[in-house]
Structure 1
Amino acid sequence: MRLSSTILSAAALAWATGVLAAQPATMRLDYIHSGNALSEQYAIDRVVVEPLPWPGDMTRTLDDTNRGVNMVEVVDAKTGKLLYSRGFSTVFGEWKSTEEAGKLTRAFGESVRFPQPAAPVKVRILKRDERNQFSVVWSVEVDPDALDVVRKQPPAPAKPIPLRVSGPSPRKVDLLIIGDGYTRAELGKFEKTAKRLAEHLFAVSPFKERAQDFNVWGLAVPTEESGISRPSTHTHHASPLNTRYDIFGSERYVLTTDNRALRDIAQYAPYEFIEILVNNDTYGGGGIYGQFSTAAADNDWANYLFVHEFGHHFAGLADEYYTSPVAYQAASGRPEPWEPNATADPVHPKWLRHVTSGTPLPTPWPKAEYEAHSREYQKIRAQLRKENRPEGEMSKLFKEDLAWTSALFARAPHAHAVGAFEGANYEATGYYRPAQQCLMFDRSDAFCAVCAEAIGQTIDLYSRTKEQK
């Protein structure tokens, strides 16, 4: 007798969420984060009890990775005991660094999730100060028994699909892949694509070696039209997550700024991390640490986009490239980045233990030759977009650029060394990356040792190994 996929899905969901382990409920605080380049404010929106139990390990409730622009802390209101913490970054934080933030004020919805406490707690949002240390910028008391807590949710708009179930959720990293811009007739396509991209993720080290530490779920609410909005080409589609291209004026930047829509859909599957697949072939994606990442599922470079953007979201990895145009304004001075793979100190980089004896710091590389080539490449790229040329022409340009860069780097004396290579974090000077070439630098297919270590540390925060059990 064959069980239906619905029954199998329900069984996998019940097992993986660890219902029998008496996990606490999942509580979510939705709030509004508003401001501009000079100031910011917070205001409570609502407190929600989500439909599924807390997916995380209750023995690893405190974050020791020291990553993110922000940190959430949940403390017992009576005793002050720290119950839960996690680092994260926000869409508001990125927008604040744009030119627009100097001209007007905007508001963004945000959320923090934590195990439901037994008594009132204070939820504190911290932010890094000028010393790169966290300090409290907002605090609000949350009573789990308050009358205005939302405890009943509407029926799930779609059923989660178990793409990879390695064990109970509290012992695993739960990755939720959400589709946006898929019609009902394309839901099978979404499931197939989500499986393929997840398989690729686990073919890339260090995810490859830690594949059994993950559960992967799929979820897609169907749309009336295929694809998401791309305003720069006058393409506008309604979609459940309101994901779109052209975020902050960057044609390739894909995000949703509709946090409530995202959380109200995601809450029906176990998750700690979210990757949104958009049903488009135009190159694009994005990633916010601790929030979500996105990738254009039908692009020729979807494999790279999926992994690169997930690197931002999952491990807080910085972009190491610096010749592509971005929406952000350059920071005054060169403060030390919190990201694990970028530094302003090339002589004593934070990854010094990975640098072998004899490697010069800073580390020479064919920077001038690379930049001369990149300037010409960027001109061609901009022209292709201006003329709205077929996506295949852009993919061909990317392939040629990667081949040229890889050939140049292969001849360099420190091609495979960990050092301090100038050019990172969108800046040509003053910031340094650990390796000459890495998946966070260009469209190559491997993480450097420093990025791999940072990914492993995040996996350790969420997944319990056999030895820990």
Structure 2
Amino acid sequence: MRFIRSLATAFLAAIAASAGAAQPATVRVDYLHSGNALAETYALERVVIEPLPWPGAMDRTIDDTDRGINRVEVVDAKTGQLLYSRGFSTIFGEWRSTEEAAKASRAFGESVRFPKPDRPVKVRILKRDERNAFSIVWSADIDTDALDVVRKQPPAPARPIPIRVAGPSPQKVDLLILGDGYTRAEMKKFEQSAKRLADYLFTVSPFRERAADFNVWALAVPTQESGVSRPSTGTHHASALNTRYDIFGSERYVLTTDNRALRDIAQHAPYEFIEILVNNDTYGGGGIYGQFSTAAANNDWANYLFVHEFGHHFAGLADEYYTSPVAYQSSGERMEPWEPNVTALRDPANIKWRRHVTPGTPLPTPWPKAEYEAHSREYQKVRAQLRKDNRPESEMNRLFRDDLAWTNALFSKAPHGKAIGAFEGANYEATGCYRSQQQCLMFDRSEAFCAVCAEAIGQTIDLYSRPRSN
């Protein structure tokens, strides 16, 4: 085992060295994003040259997937030439749809990363407007050779562990699995969990077919206490990433709002995507497109949580469920969602996944919606009571298993059970929003993505791992 680890570590060093010869440095712009439900502002915090070279392919610097609430653009300061772009979403964007944002203002740290340019640039943050098109909301002049750019940082607090290495980073998707809430004595447990969940990811299509397009790394900074904070139960633990449950008042929502801690740790491994494993048994997770995702590594549903939340972060997939309580407030608007797997169905003849629609399937597509919702109301009451009574996690896991079995039985009898159409109920909305199939990993705790989600995932893999023919 020691020989294998040494060989893998040497391979990591070789990849970094070979990439460094051709790859530019990695620039990170840290900024503050603040405001409330009505207004938002941005302020530059610092510009950092990260320790490792840019992990991505230099012939795929422009994002053409049209996803995310925001987009970063890096343009030549003199000519306006677009050098780099990526879509993303933010925690601030989610927070401003909560009830709190109507009463108070808050600030969140955010970052954008891009390959170091050889000239001064403008870094622009764009946001979708009322036409669902991007417009500029903030711009900063950045000279990555300026005197105030941070070029030297403390040594890495932990060494990255190669979980699977398929080739040089610029030719692959680099996934970094971070651990939070693991003590020094639990480092082996973290490594085993990271490997187990990464292995599971590549049993799920389309990740299974594209496994050779990924590198996976793991990294965890030891903590004094085991597990992360869960404030609703009086549990408060200091951890390296400051990940916690109860984000926005949702007991199962797990995120970190400490962007500086996250980026300062992650920068010591090659990455384009991050999933944080929390060393907890309680069901929970979260995912922000283009930022990171989280999953409770010790829960019975860890496999599902890991893949479902990664779907949000990696491909910008929307939640397709709509009967579970969430912290967000509906805007009442019916703008076409940017997410690839949900639609407002304003024009059924031109539905965004029309090439996948099963011939002869009516749009909207009938399904046993009323029966499903009646069952779900009762199920949610039981779920809420279990949490209120702080019952053992095994009871919650049993409830989830029973609910999935009931749903599978109901859908197995439905006339359009396997069809691709437009099924009303998605994206936290019971009416006016539609998903493409009755069942999908983004809808319930089933084990497969629908065809529309699978295609969206494949498009993201293509953006990072394969040269495109023009």
* SS of residue matched to 1:132: coil
Q: Which residue of 2 aligns with 1:441?
A: 443
Q: Which residue of 2 aligns with 1:135?
A: 135
* SS of residue matched to 1:435: coil
Q: Given that residues 322 and 426 in structure 2 are in contact (C-alpha distance below 8 angstroms), is that contact kept between their aligned partners in structure 1? A: yes
Q: Which residue of 1 aligns with 2:396?
A: 394
Q: Which residue of 2 aligns with 1:276?
A: 276
Question: Shift of the alpha carbon at 1:153?
Answer: 1.3
Which deviates further from its counterpart, 225-234 or 21-30? Answer: 21-30
Question: Shift of the alpha carbon at 1:21?
Answer: 4.5
Pick closer, same or farther for the CA change 1:148–1:367 going to 2, 3 Å: same
* SS of residue matched to 1:240: coil
Q: Given that residues 169 and 215 in structure 2 are in contact (C-alpha distance below 8 angstroms), is that contact kept between their aligned partners in structure 1? A: yes
Aligned length: 468
Q: Which residue of 2 aligns with 1:423?
A: 425
Structure 1: distance between partners of 2:183 and 2:198: 21
After the TM superposition, which parts of structure 1 deviate over 4 Å for at least 4 consecutive aligned residues? Answer: none
Q: Which residue of 1 aligns with 2:77?
A: 77
RMSD, aligned α-carbons: 1.4
Give me the TM-score of the superposition, normalised by structure 2.
0.98
1:260-299 residue pairs with structure 2 within 5 A? 260-299=260-299
Per-residue CA distance 1:145-172 (angstroms, 9 max, x = gap):
1100000011000000000000000000
Structure 2: distance between partners of 1:69 and 1:312: 13
Q: Given the alignment of the two structures, is residue 403 of structure 1 paired with residue 405 of structure 2, yes or no?
A: yes
Structure 2: distance between partners of 1:76 and 1:212: 35
Gapped regions of structure 2 (runs ≥ 5): none
Structure 1: distance between partners of 2:123 and 2:14: 29
Q: Given that residues 343 and 431 in structure 1 are in contact (C-alpha distance below 8 angstroms), is that contact kept between their aligned partners in structure 2? A: yes
Q: Which residue of 1 aligns with 2:90?
A: 90
Q: Which residue of 2 aligns with 1:146?
A: 146
Q: Given that residues 19 and 169 in structure 2 are in contact (C-alpha distance below 8 angstroms), is that contact kept between their aligned partners in structure 1? A: no
Q: Which residue of 1 aligns with 2:123?
A: 123
Q: Given that residues 283 and 296 in structure 2 are in contact (C-alpha distance below 8 angstroms), is that contact kept between their aligned partners in structure 1? A: yes
Per-residue CA distance 1:364-411 (angstroms, 9 max, x = gap):
000000000000000000000000000000000000000000000010
Q: Which residue of 2 aligns with 1:184?
A: 184
* SS of residue matched to 2:342: coil
Q: Given that residues 16 and 52 in structure 2 are in contact (C-alpha distance below 8 angstroms), is that contact kept between their aligned partners in structure 1? A: no
Structure 2: distance between partners of 1:441 and 1:50: 38
Question: Shift of the alpha carbon at 1:4?
Answer: 6.6
Gapped regions of structure 1 (runs ≥ 5): none
Q: Which residue of 2 aligns with 1:159?
A: 159
Q: Which residue of 2 aligns with 1:170?
A: 170
Pick closer, same or farther for the CA change 1:442–1:4 going to 2, 3 Å: closer
Structure 1: distance between partners of 2:5 and 2:294: 27
Q: Which amino acid aligns with 2:385?
A: Q
Q: Given that residues 176 and 274 in structure 2 are in contact (C-alpha distance below 8 angstroms), is that contact kept between their aligned partners in structure 1? A: yes
Question: Shift of the alpha carbon at 1:329?
Answer: 0.2
Question: Shift of the alpha carbon at 1:78?
Answer: 1.1
Fraction of identical pairs, as percent:
79
* SS of residue matched to 1:215: strand
Per-residue CA distance 1:105-148 (angstroms, 9 max, x = gap):
00000000000011100000000000000000000000011100
Question: Shift of the alpha carbon at 1:20?
Answer: 5.3
Q: Which residue of 2 aligns with 1:199?
A: 199
Give me the TM-score of the superposition, normalised by structure 1.
0.98
Question: Shift of the alpha carbon at 1:6?
Answer: 4.1
Q: Which residue of 2 aligns with 1:46?
A: 46
Question: Shift of the alpha carbon at 1:324?
Answer: 0.2
1:263-342 residue pairs with structure 2 within 5 A? 263-342=263-342
